[in-house]
């Protein structure tokens, strides 16, 4: 490194002030003069150093030349190339994605997310500027994966943490304790499929059944022998169902605001008391998003575009089974001052099987 200022210490057999006056008359740049006994200290530039070396013997002067603060830890640190490299490396490193964490208690879910991230080219050491926004990543991860209800993201520096939120587990296949039972229809419909784990079919696919009809029996018969095992499983059917609702005319909804990123500069060195210093990223990022709540009023022309999807979404969310809505027809809508009432006819496909205990007097017959 080149230093423009030098510290000069004058001592000698003659008066140092005479030599100092000579330097001033000769146009040598002198600053910061201090006197201590027979010693004079001051600062000058490179040209002044050359002039002093040529003329010091004429005045019998002993001259010591030092750079200001030469040898101090701070000067060696902040004027070295190593310090510059140590500052540049964290800045460059903070522009890349160094770690992806998936927080999930289910290994199979984490594995599926890893595969989808690889397909979307979201991997380590990729520049942060080329990573899609959270909404796009969320859509890619939740696509064709009904086990996910939502995906949260958290960014800390160059680390991306993905937290999948799992959908409530369906309990249709959980076998409940109780007496052996047959499966009967809780409502009428046209059977589309069977998923039996025990028992024997009585009805068949595409058969029209009514409420209370036997769908599967829990009594198995082979030759002259009957055994009570109980029927377990699901029977799916298409059926029409009317849904009556009453909702507010004015609806509140939440809009996601734009996300802004604030970059904070921080020292890469953390000094710990009694311990060696530790290092951290030169840049700290903070993500801020302000959401807002707005309102809109339902109107008669919004029946097909707004009201029907809202009711359909509510039914599917409230359902605890594999409910599928195939068709829907609005029967009527009534707009009041503050509410909207109506009835919608849905064509649904759902499990219609419920258990009916087998009479105790039924016994195994040889």
List, for residues 41-83, the tens digit of each pLDDT value: 888 888 888 888 888 888 878 888 887 555 445 555 555 666 6
Measured CA distances, 289 to 204, 283, 295 (Å):
55, 20, 20
E-assigned strands of 199-302?
200-201, 208-209, 214-217, 219-222, 225-228, 232-248, 250-255, 259-265, 269-270, 278-279, 283-289, 292-297
User: Between 16-25 and 46-55, two packed helices, what is the crossing angle to 10 degrees?
Assistant: 120
The model's pTM is 0.46
The two structure tokens encoding residue 66: 């030092």
Element (H, E) at 194: strand 189-198
- DSSP output for 99-128: EEEE--S-HHHHHHHHHHHHHTT--TT-BG
Torsions phi, psi for 292 (to 5 deg): -135, 150
Q: What percent of the chain has pLDDT over 90?
A: 20
List, for residues 258-287, the tens digit of each pLDDT value: 878 888 887 777 777 777 777 777 777 787
- Cβ atoms of residues 337 and 221 within 8 Å: no
User: Between 107-119 and 134-142, two packed helices, what is the crossing angle to 10 degrees?
Assistant: 120
- What's the chain's average pLDDT? 81
Q: Are strands 208-209 and 189-198 parallel, antiparallel or unpaired?
A: antiparallel
Burial of 63 (0-12, 13-18, 19+ CB in 10 A): middle
Residue-range domains of the chain with CATH:
6-72 (3.30.70.260), 172-256+294-366 (no CATH)
List, for residues 217-244, the tens digit of each pLDDT value: 988 887 778 888 889 999 999 999 999 9
């Amino acid at each position: 490194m080149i230093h423009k200022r030098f510290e000069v210490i004058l001592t000698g057999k003659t008066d140092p002030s005479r030599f100092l006056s000579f330097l001033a008359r000769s146009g040598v740049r002198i600053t910061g003069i201090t006197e201590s006994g027979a010693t004079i200290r001051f600062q000058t530039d490179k040209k002044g150093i050359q002039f002093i070396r040529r003329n010091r013997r004429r005045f019998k002067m002993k001259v010591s030349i030092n750079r200001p603060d030469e040898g101090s830890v701070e000067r060696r640190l902040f004027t070295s190339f190593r310090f510059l490299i140590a500052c540049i490396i964290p800045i460059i490193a903070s522009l890349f994605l160094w770690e992806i964490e998936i927080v999930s208690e289910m290994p199979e879910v984490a594995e599926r997310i890893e595969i989808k991230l690889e397909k979307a080219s979201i991997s380590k050491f990729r520049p942060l500027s080329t990573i899609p926004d959270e909404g796009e990543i969320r859509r890619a991860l939740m696509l064709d994966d009904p086990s996910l209800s939502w995906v949260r993201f958290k960014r800390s520096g160059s680390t991306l943490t993905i937290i999948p939120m799992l959908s409530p587990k369906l309990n249709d296949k959980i076998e409940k304790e109780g007496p052996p039972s047959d499966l009967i229809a809780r409502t009428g419909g046209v059977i589309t499929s069977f998923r039996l784990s025990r028992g024997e079919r009585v009805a068949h696919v595409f058969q029209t059944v009514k409420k209370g009809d036997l769908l599967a029996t829990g009594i198995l018969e082979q030759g002259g022998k009957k055994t009570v095992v109980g029927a377990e499983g699901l029977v799916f059917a298409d059926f029409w169902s009317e849904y009556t609702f009453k909702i507010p005319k004015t609806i509140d909804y939440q809009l996601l605001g734009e996300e802004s990123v604030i970059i904070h500069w921080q020292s890469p060195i953390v000094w710990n008391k009694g311990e060696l210093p530790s290092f951290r990223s030169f840049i700290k990022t903070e993500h801020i998003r302000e959401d807002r709540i707005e309102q809109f009023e339902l109107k008669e022309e919004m029946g097909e575009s707004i009201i029907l999807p809202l009711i359909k979404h509510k039914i599917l969310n409230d359902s605890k089974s594999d409910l599928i809505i195939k068709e829907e027809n609005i029967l009527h809508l009534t707009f009041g001052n503050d509410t909207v009432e109506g009835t919608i006819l849905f064509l649904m496909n759902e499990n219609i099987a419920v258990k009916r205990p087998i009479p105790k007097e039924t016994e195994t017959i040889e």
